[in-house]
């Protein structure tokens, strides 16, 4: 029985991916910043660990507690929605610490065991904004685009050790992104950007095209189908964007 470690499992894509892998008889190590087993299904094949991907000691403890794993899914991320001009650089760094540096740090922590065994899969969850950038998401897009570039280059380094690396690019989903992003809007939209923002928000009102299950299935494919492409869009809208790009 193989083991997968998944980050950001308290809701959305992470939670769905936990359920998907458990239903297919995998051992799952579900991680989240604040450990809460009540958020997850009951299973003898499930372990829940606290993990803050921005904290080196938390990463060290979680990787040690997890033991040998076959797959790492870097799903943890935070959002930000707003005008770049009024976004504090401390907030920009907060986004990159989780979305970009957290992904890189956890990947680095598990690589020694993958390299020694000459086996392993790393799946990084980014976003369809890397395919078609959207307004008011410049910092978020930058953080996810950095992960895309990191993953593409890393794949060349790790191929010699039989370690596969994949990108999942979800489209717009009815998850908690907007809810989690609101606290970082820092005073709302400046008057100078009001008309632009109103138009941008109207464009974001279209129905979501990606369900959490779409992402879980894309992750499953990346892990289990060695012929799958490195970049896998997840959801009808993301697939359409990928085809158009």
- Between CA 218 and CA 175 the distance in angstroms is 17
Cα–Cα distance for residue pair 51/191, rounded to 1 Å:
39
Does 140 qualify as catalytic in the annotation?
A: yes
Query: Residue 185: which of 177, 101, 147, 204 has the closest Cα?
Result: 177
Measure the CA–CA gap between 203 and 218, rounded to whole angstroms. 26
Question: For 238, left (φ over 0), alpha (ψ -120 to 50), or beta?
Answer: alpha
Strand order in the sheet with 231-234: 46-50, 27-32, 3-6, 71-74, 120-125, 163-170, 231-234
Cα dihedral 210, 212, 217, 221 sign: positive
| 3-state secondary structure (DSSP) of residue 225 | coil
Active-site annotation holder among 13, 21, 26, 140: 140
Known catalytic residues are: 140
């Amino acid at each position: 029985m193989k083991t997968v470690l998944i980050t950001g499992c308290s809701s959305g894509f992470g939670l769905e991916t936990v359920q998907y892998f458990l239903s297919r008889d995998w051992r799952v190590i579900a991680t989240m910043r604040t450990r809460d087993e009540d958020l997850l299904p009951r299973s003898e094949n499930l372990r829940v660990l606290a993990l803050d991907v921005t904290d080196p000691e938390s990463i060290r403890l979680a990787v040690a507690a997890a033991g040998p794993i076959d797959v790492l899914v870097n799903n943890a991320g935070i959002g930000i929605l707003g005008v770049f001009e009024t976004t504090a650089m401390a907030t920009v760094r907060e986004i990159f610490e989780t979305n970009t540096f957290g992904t890189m740090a956890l990947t680095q922590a598990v690589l020694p065991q993958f390299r020694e065994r000459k086996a392993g899969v790393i799946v990084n969850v980014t976003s369809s904004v890397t395919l078609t950038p959207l307004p008011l998401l410049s910092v978020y897009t930058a953080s996810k685009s950095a992960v895309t570039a990191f993953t593409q280059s890393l794949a060349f380094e790790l191929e010699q050790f039989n370690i596969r690396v994949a990108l999942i690019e979800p489209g717009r989903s009815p998850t908690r992104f907007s809810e989690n992003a609101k606290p970082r809007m820092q005073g709302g939209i400046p008057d100078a950007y009001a008309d632009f923002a109103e138009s941008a928000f109207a464009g974001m009102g279209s129905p979501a095209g990606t369900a959490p299950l779409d992402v879980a299935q894309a992750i499953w494919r990346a892990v289990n189908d060695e012929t799958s492409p490195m970049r896998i869009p997840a959801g009808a809208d993301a697939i359409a964007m990928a085809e158009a790009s």
